[in-house]
Structure 1
Amino acid sequence: MTVHKHSERKSASASSSAKSIKKKPSRPKAGRWLWFWGGLTGVAMLSATAGALLAVSLSTTPLMQSQLTAEEEAVFGKGDRISRAGFKLSELTRPVNILVLGVKVLTSDVNNPPAGSKELGYHATLNSFEGLTDTMLLLRFDPKKKKLTVMSIPRDTRVSLNEGRNYIKINAANYEGGPALSAQAVSELLNGVPIDRYMRINVQGVEKLIDALGGVKVYVPKDLKYQDDSQHLYINLKAGEHQLNGNQALQFLRFRHDENGDIGRIQRQQLLMRSFMEQALNPTTITRVPKVLSVIQSHIDTNLTVQELMALVGFGSQTQRANVQMLLVPGRFSEPGEYRASYWLPDSDRIATMMNQHFNVPTDTQQAIVEPRRLRIAIQDSTGSDTGVQSLLNSLQAAGYRNVYIARKWSEPLQVTHIVAQQGDGNSAQQLRQALNVGEVRVESTGNLESDITIQLGQDWLKKQ
């Protein structure tokens, strides 16, 4: 089955797509939730002692909860080994790509809900993996470059599962054909990138993982408030720095009711990733391993073996924060009335460049060096100093950066300036940092969506003046 990226304007395909996903009696409803990153990062940052404990504890418990056919199994690599036994932990033998799927299933989404569900008076979440994916991530663990790359795939990305005839949102792939069809859709969207393994986690597991790991400290950029009585979804977070428990973290990452919708939610995911990574090395994490094990055994479905999981633990424990890159599938929002549904429309040329640079996928497109004057540079000030912003503008102009604009202020007070490679161009971001001689480069998508590079201005710039 071929999966096609967006390639044409509004047509009858939009309506036929609605029909194409009615193969099952009940279609899951959309929702938003946190994905497996927090749990995987937390496990990956444990010491060798904790990793050994994990291996022993899981040695007799299968991680896979679903059964794949031989044809489905063939989607995930060619059976190549990705790990080998090491002295303390298993270790990766080559770069490996893992598809992470976050699934939310409600009692109203299934034909035979648990007894008593109707008496609840709302749509409760189920410990199931058979629904629409609210989160899709492609993770690349590269032991040669010692880098971990995370590609966020918007759930509303427009693709076709039927030779270009029926276009749907990519999050329907798991509902239609499980992890195998999801992997096929992602691979074809991202220029044929191979996918070696998959991992699915449901919303119940996410909350429990965060609680098991002691929560996460994160800066909430603005007041977040939303209520949906039908799902018992209540989001009420105040702006500022907070230590979030599992339920609060879900609120933070499920919120999507602002101008950036699902893309804004992905940006908040990436903010939480950075915060979580900085906390996960805490030695007290080791004492939490038994709770983590319980969640993994009951709320995660994956075709990773125990040895492979241990190899990821070993790799994660040695990965520096600066070597973690977080990307977003390049594209744009569809215009009102352009299609019958709202989509994220992928940009094929920019995808080719990004996949070649970060996932080693061959491309015919030559990567031209972007001149400073052509780069779109956004400034997000966190200092409150108009003088500081103006001096930055002057310095950028003097360094040859001509396409510079002031974007919305960055709400979190920063001591160190963040130079964000919004489109994944770390080289250009590094050159800009060298020109300014201040800040740190972050390859992530938390900046202004229209920019190539976003400068989130911190106090270090003011001290430099």
Structure 2
Amino acid sequence: MNKKNRKKMRKFTKVIKRLFLLFLILVLVGFVWTYVKLSSLNNGNESTATAKASLKDPINILIYGMDNVPGSPASRTDTIMIMHYDPKTKDTTLVSLPRDTKISQDVYEPQVIGRTAKLTEVHYDSQLAYDINTARDNLINTVKNFFGIYNINYYVSIDYSGFSSIIDAIGGVDVVPKYNMKYHDPVDNLVIDFDKDKKYHLNGEDALKFVRWRKNDAGIDSGADGSDLGRIDNQRYFIDCLINELSSPLGMIKTPILISKGCQYVKTDLPANKILIYALSILKSGSDSLTSETLKGTTKYVDGADYFIYDSTGNKEIIDLLNDGESESTVDINKDNISIKIINCAGEDGLAGKLKEKLANNYGYNRDNIITKTGSSLEKTSSIIVDSSSSISDFDSLCDEIGIENISTKSGYDSDITIIIGNDY
């Protein structure tokens, strides 16, 4: 190579080095900007109800969307789900919690609404009675205690008023509706009009209509059941479409715009470094590693309101997954056939009924086999008596479930388990 060519090569190499240095600076600036933006999400948003986890451990993140109630200072949680992520398998499971789930009053006793709360109303009722931070923590604790989930590690709350802006920021989302969606509400000036199996590119306004749709106008069949479960199915589908959009090369480029917009409407106690690590891992895995589940139960009209009645026995597999494969209960019995008598000898009304709801809703005992009564005299000490002819052998787990440590076995009782509630309960 002659002197002239060597000079050109040195000049070219110098340009390449400068371009590479410029690229590194831009990447560093972009990373710092992203980190600072994400750090603002958990600034002052720590919760005492969550249990932080290391990056190597599976995590449960409670995600909920807040819908402002017109004329009220409080918000209902319109969409509630738990995202379970396992860093070892890279699998993500979204578990939708029906918003109309009937919450037993021993888990959450309403302060304002004056009746047994639905899951969607826990945040609303708590915010009216206290403040938004207490509402958040009460919601997290209610989810843990009612469904029997050991830990919620982090939370993410999304203000629905900013949902449209976030979708617009990424340029919209492609969907193909699974149902005919035809709904008109002249009071709210709301028109939802999507045809089944037709491809749409939804902007922010239409995306909000899409995820909030539940049923059609009277006389128009959609193919969905018209309950909250149909809306959950639709929302899960939209999340799949959103992840596909974000995991595309173009979606990756739009990430800074998404972060900038989303930070205005999102609160979380996830630290910035974990947001980046979890988000990149989930997006890299794509929708193939994402599965969705909905809790099982039945809808029922109770005391003037429509409720979703949670089936603890039918959801054991899902709850075990959220608890990393550990069963909430290890009592070695067939709970469907166990008879229980609860005698309230504490002198305080309602304790036997609350314990009955706890055993039925949280631990899978057959509600029809639980009877309650008021004792004829007061007792200082609570106790559990197991009939010696029963098949119950795991007394430690039984005590944990009932919340009473004093246990004994005796013969001649007309129930497999007799629970006496005393003043110490």
Question: What TM-score, normalized by structure 2, do the two folds share?
Answer: 0.61
- Structure 2 match to 1:413: none
Q: State the Cα RMSD in Å.
A: 2.7
- Structure 1 match to 2:277: 311
Determine whether 1:294 maps to 2:260: yes
1:264 positional shift: 0.6
1:55 positional shift: 5.2
**1:246-296 deviations in Å (ceiling 9; x for gaps):** 111111111112533211111111222233333332211233233212222
Structure 2 residue aligned with 1:94, among 57, 70, 75?
Answer: 57
Determine whether 1:322 maps to 2:288: yes
Q: Is the 8 A contact 2:165 2:261 kept in 1?
A: yes
Whole-angstrom distance in 2 between the partners of 1:76 and 1:174: 16
Q: Is the 8 A contact 2:45 2:268 kept in 1?
A: no
Structure 1 residue aligned with 2:30, among 34, 53, 78?
Answer: 53
Determine whether 1:196 maps to 2:163: no
Q: Return closer, same or farther for 1:296/1:211 CA change in 2, 3 Å cut-off.
A: same
Q: Return closer, same or farther for 1:164/1:305 CA change in 2, 3 Å cut-off.
A: closer
Determine whether 1:76 maps to 2:50: yes
- Aligned residue for 1:145, secondary structure, equals coil
Structure 1 residue aligned with 2:239, among 273, 276, 281?
Answer: 273
1:162 positional shift: 4.1
Q: Return closer, same or farther for 1:163/1:223 CA change in 2, 3 Å cut-off.
A: closer
RCO higher in 1 or 2 (8 Å CA, sep ≥ 6)? 1
The one-letter amino acid paired with 2:71 is S
Whole-angstrom distance in 1 between the partners of 2:116 and 2:49: 22
- Structure 1 match to 2:421: none
Q: Return closer, same or farther for 1:255/1:51 CA change in 2, 3 Å cut-off.
A: farther
Q: Return closer, same or farther for 1:317/1:131 CA change in 2, 3 Å cut-off.
A: same
Structure 1 residue aligned with 2:192, among 224, 229, 235?
Answer: 235
1:53 positional shift: 3.2
Whole-angstrom distance in 2 between the partners of 1:364 and 1:168: 25
Whole-angstrom distance in 1 between the partners of 2:108 and 2:205: 40
The one-letter amino acid paired with 1:64 is N
Q: Return closer, same or farther for 1:345/1:65 CA change in 2, 3 Å cut-off.
A: farther
- Aligned residue for 1:97, secondary structure, equals strand
1:321 positional shift: 2.8
Question: What TM-score, normalized by structure 1, do the two folds share?
Answer: 0.56
1:51 positional shift: 11
Q: Return closer, same or farther for 1:55/1:260 CA change in 2, 3 Å cut-off.
A: farther
Whole-angstrom distance in 1 between the partners of 2:193 and 2:153: 39
**1:180-209 deviations in Å (ceiling 9; x for gaps):** 111111112321330011111111222122
1:320 positional shift: 4.3
The one-letter amino acid paired with 1:267 is D
The one-letter amino acid paired with 1:146 is K
- Structure 2 match to 1:103: 66
Whole-angstrom distance in 2 between the partners of 1:311 and 1:303: 15
- Higher-Rg member (1/2): 2
Which shifted more, 137-146 or 224-233?
A: 224-233
- Structure 1, gaps ≥5 residues long: 1-48, 83-91, 111-129, 368-465
- Structure 1 match to 2:335: none
Q: Is the 8 A contact 1:136 1:152 kept in 2?
A: yes
- Structure 1 match to 2:120: 171
Q: Return closer, same or farther for 1:52/1:321 CA change in 2, 3 Å cut-off.
A: farther
- Structure 1 match to 2:137: 180
- Aligned residue for 2:270, secondary structure, equals coil
Determine whether 1:63 maps to 2:29: no
Query: Among the aligned pairs, what percent are the same residue?
Result: 23
Q: Return closer, same or farther for 1:357/1:309 CA change in 2, 3 Å cut-off.
A: closer
Q: Is the 8 A contact 1:236 1:251 kept in 2?
A: no
